[in-house]
Structure 1
Amino acid sequence: MTSAIAPEQLLHHRSFRLFWLASVASTIALQMQIVAVGWQVYQLTRSPFDLGIVGLVQFIPSLFLVFVVGHVADRHDRRQVARFSILVEAIAAGLLAAGSLGGWLTKEAIFAIVFVIGAGRAFSKPTMSAMLPTLMQPSLLPRAVAGSASATQVAIIIGPAIGGFLYVAGPSTVYITSCILFVLCSVLVSMIKVETPPVKRENATLKSVFAGIAYIRSKPAIFGAISLDLFAVLLGGATALLPVYAHDILHTNSVGLGLLRSAPAVGALSVAIFLARNPLRGRIGRTMFIAVGIFGLATIVFGLSQSFAVSLLALVVLGASDMISVVVRSTFVQLETPDEMRGRVSAVNSVFIGTSNQLGEFESGLTAAWFGAVPAVLIGGIGTLLVVALWIRLFPQLFQVDRLVDNTSKKSS
């Protein structure tokens, strides 16, 4: 394992710096695509349901590939797995650009290409997540997770805003830029030096493939943390409806949509930077539940707002509260999982996250088609608050978790 690194020097550590830059590049590319695809699909169809379909087709590959992804990440060089899967995302971005330039990009073609993006993401995201703990000592992981999250949030702030501005020149401009960034990310990942035990390449068995599920089921606190995010964001996520809110309720354009997409990341980045230097030290389980509750309340405020400024503020609070939950959950799960299991556990965790995000977008689009955009968001926010109350009763072990680093000390001793 690498030598000790002072928290403020994480970005001076070459492998972590490359990891951080790769995360920024890939997330900017993805967020630009999200803005362009959402705006393009809504312009083509004017259907909230079709916006939900975009989320669904991204999620399906993660669901069906989860056990393959985890096994590959634990049995092969994680850098190479991540590198090639990111190149798949680059190729998909190139196809979106070609289709926009050639005029053949129908909504069905967009759905098919987004499916390919989802397949690439199904491999790259959990593999990168499993790689992070191998870059530094376990005691620094809480700060590293927050630092990595800050990279994601920087990109989520920049990406949608850039995507919105570039879309003025046409969707192909957005997709070409995304393609270039994905290629850059792949190059950066290939340069990372990871110090890990020798890769185990024994043949897959049913027991080894499904070991991630078995491990999570054996740890109620881990299962509670992952499933809390699943149901809270599944119900409370309103991001799929941002094109509807931008166009029909807040009466803004693609630039305004980019700002709305960026707003949650402004709050999340502020919290991530703070937690990178000041990790949570006590009552982290309770803090996570409170944060998810605030997430639900912010969703309700956003749903009721007809003011662009109030909507932006609500999204900032939503992002800040979500980041607290993300850092606690991600660090807790990584510290409680042995390295030889991290790929499979990260793959299962990624499916839960993908369920909450992509399938949550489908849920939002479906309920908006049934009841309207505003009732759909309100139902989601109220549902999130109910989930928080129920999970406190179902998973008291999670609510009572006090510290993160103590578990690391036990494992590394």
Structure 2
Amino acid sequence: MAQPHDQPPTHYALAYSEYRRYATGALLSNIGLQMMAVAVSWQIYRLTHSTLALGLVGLAEVIPVVGLALPGGQLADIFSRRRLVLGSSLGILACCLALAALASGHLVAPDAPALIAANQFLENLARRMGEQQVHFDSTVVPVMYVVIFFLGVTRAIMGPARSALLPMLVPATAFPNAVTWNSSFFQLAAMAGPALGGLILGFTSTGGDSYAPVYLLSSASVLVLIVAIYSLPEKPYPHSEERHGLESMLVGLRFVHRQKVILGSIALDMFAVLLGGVTALLPVYADEILHVGPRGLGILRAAPSVGSFLMAIWLAHHPPIRRAGPALFWSVTAFGVGIIVFGLSRSFWLSLAALFFCGLADNISVVVRHTLVQILTPDSLRGRVSAVNQIFISLSNELGALRAGTVAAVVGPVLSTVGGGVGTILVAGVAAILWPGLRRYGSLAVTKLPETEESVEP
């Protein structure tokens, strides 16, 4: 591994070739997956015109992620993290290709009784919740939910393994910088991916074929990640003498429960995004409120990531945050304010500005939370603790999408969004009272990552 003596501190992690390869593959694959997410949400909304259908996308993905995250974390502490990431990437590639085949007509969703019954159930449920102008006529919709479910299965395996692999690619002193660059690259992907996806959808026809190019490009991007991970040398992984049963699987949960700083940071993020997330409703805003179509949808989805990317670049060029606790709570509060402004806005440009501001605030929260989880967790538990963190993230993102969709079906998208922003601010206040240690937490600077649980201060 190359020594970074000639690199400035802001590029510390980038001096390591293994990290550069990993980050390049992750960046390009995330761009493709963000493109895919835009296409999936737009396709399902155009097929159904149902906010409930958008929320169910999150539910279809979160069930396997939550159900399999703890076993996935245990696998990351037992087996090769590189091979787990490689195998799960192949699974994601298969899901992208399946969506492309459905969209192009090469894979035809049959008029099977089970699929027709699923559509009837979903339409009746949507109408009971107050949505009258909905139609679940295409059997493509339930098949897409099945593909999204399997995408969640692959995420459950990949998430803990990827998180636990990252500290093995750089030394401890470069790890906070690697976290910040990871956040920068993710936000760059989340900025470019939706914009590209919306642009492609806007330039193609409104039929099913318009989605296939997006899904095919997503497949190609995941293939780049597979090549990058395959090129990495095999890393030694921790071998524990403990038995690998249910008891071992729950060790990560117990560790997080004891470490109040970790528990508070991931719980705060979970409830803030669970209440304040608006991504699931962006197709509704683009189509019915702001009237900007699929291109506008791509720009709306990219706006938070533009803010997050700029904040991540700023953080990467400055020392680790010195007052991480106050920064975390203020950033969550600011995120809630931005969501309220977006919910009330009828101007496309004001909506973009509000989402941009949300991205600025959210990135601070992401960097603080992810850094705390990794620097306070011993390597022997990092896979299982990352799995717990993934459960919290998935609950916030995917159940947040379900909450937004179902509440919008009852009270409308505006009240759903504004109420979520208010709830986010209230959550920040309650969390500041419940976890005073997190509120007072200081610098994120670190010189050595813990190797054992005994080396971690409670």
TM over 0.5: yes
- 1:304 pairs with 334, 341, 344, which one? 344
- For residues 252 and 227 of structure 1, what CA distance do their matches in structure 2 show? 35
- For residues 107 and 67 of structure 1, what CA distance do their matches in structure 2 show? 29
- For residues 279 and 356 of structure 1, what CA distance do their matches in structure 2 show? 29
What amino acid maps onto 2:378 in structure 1? P
Question: What pairs with 1:92-241 in structure 2 (closer than 5 Å)?
Answer: 92-102=95-105, 104=109, 106-167=140-201, 168-169=203-204, 170-193=210-233, 195-197=235-237, 199-200=239-240, 203-241=243-281
Structure 1 residues 364 and 410: CA distance shift in structure 2, 3 A: closer
- For residues 300 and 273 of structure 1, what CA distance do their matches in structure 2 show? 26
Measure how far apart 1:207 and its partner are.
2.0
Q: Equivalent residue for 1:341?
A: 381
Give secondary structure in 2 for the equivalent of 1:186.
helix
Q: Equivalent residue for 1:387?
A: 427
- 2:39 pairs with 36, 41, 44, which one? 36
Q: Equivalent residue for 2:319?
A: 279
Q: Equivalent residue for 1:366?
A: 406
Structure 1 residues 409 and 97: CA distance shift in structure 2, 3 A: closer
Kindly indicate whether the alpha-carbon contact (under 8 Å) linking 2:335 and 2:362 is maintained by their aligned counterparts in 1: yes
Kindly indicate whether the alpha-carbon contact (under 8 Å) linking 2:242 and 2:248 is maintained by their aligned counterparts in 1: no
Measure how far apart 1:363 and its partner are.
0.5
- For residues 285 and 224 of structure 2, what CA distance do their matches in structure 1 show? 33
Q: Could you give the per-residue CA deviations for residues 150-186 of structure 1, whole angstroms, max 9, x where no partner exists?
A: 1101111111111112223310111111111112111
Q: Could you give the per-residue CA deviations for residues 206-229 of structure 1, whole angstroms, max 9, x where no partner exists?
A: 221111101001111110001000
* More helix, by proportion: 1
- 2:87 pairs with 61, 80, 84, which one? 84
Query: Which has the higher mean CA deviation after the structures are superposed, 220-229 or 94-103?
Result: 94-103
Measure how far apart 1:409 and its partner are.
7.2
Q: Equivalent residue for 2:396?
A: 356
In the superposition, the TM-score normalised over structure 1's length comes to 0.96
What amino acid maps onto 2:436 in structure 1? P
Kindly indicate whether the alpha-carbon contact (under 8 Å) linking 1:230 and 1:352 is maintained by their aligned counterparts in 2: yes
Kindly indicate whether the alpha-carbon contact (under 8 Å) linking 1:135 and 1:194 is maintained by their aligned counterparts in 2: no
Measure how far apart 1:197 and its partner are.
4.6
- For residues 235 and 9 of structure 1, what CA distance do their matches in structure 2 show? 36
Query: Which has the higher mean CA deviation after the structures are superposed, 299-308 or 161-170?
Result: 161-170
- For residues 406 and 91 of structure 1, what CA distance do their matches in structure 2 show? 39
Q: Equivalent residue for 2:17?
A: 14
Give secondary structure in 2 for the equivalent of 1:93.
helix
Residues matched between the structures, number: 413
| Bigger Rg, structure 1 or 2 | 2
CA RMSD of aligned residues (A): 1.9
Measure how far apart 1:203 and its partner are.
4.8
Q: Equivalent residue for 1:72?
A: 75
- For residues 193 and 3 of structure 2, what CA distance do their matches in structure 1 show? 34
Q: Does 1:48 align with 2:51?
A: yes
Q: Could you give the per-residue CA deviations for residues 212-266 of structure 1, whole angstroms, max 9, x where no partner exists?
A: 1010011111100010000000000001000000000000111110011100000
- For residues 295 and 355 of structure 1, what CA distance do their matches in structure 2 show? 18
- For residues 190 and 252 of structure 1, what CA distance do their matches in structure 2 show? 41
Q: Does 1:405 align with 2:445?
A: yes
Kindly indicate whether the alpha-carbon contact (under 8 Å) linking 1:242 and 1:257 is maintained by their aligned counterparts in 2: yes
Kindly indicate whether the alpha-carbon contact (under 8 Å) linking 1:289 and 1:388 is maintained by their aligned counterparts in 2: yes
Give secondary structure in 2 for the equivalent of 1:405.
coil
Q: Could you give the per-residue CA deviations for residues 310-369 of structure 1, whole angstroms, max 9, x where no partner exists?
A: 111111110110000000110011000001111000011011001110110000001100
Kindly indicate whether the alpha-carbon contact (under 8 Å) linking 1:2 and 1:195 is maintained by their aligned counterparts in 2: no
What amino acid maps onto 1:115 in structure 2? F
Measure how far apart 1:279 and its partner are.
3.1
- Runs of 5+ consecutive residues of structure 1 not aligned to the other structure: none
- For residues 187 and 266 of structure 1, what CA distance do their matches in structure 2 show? 28
- For residues 373 and 297 of structure 2, what CA distance do their matches in structure 1 show? 34
Q: Does 1:266 align with 2:311?
A: no
Q: Equivalent residue for 2:417?
A: 377
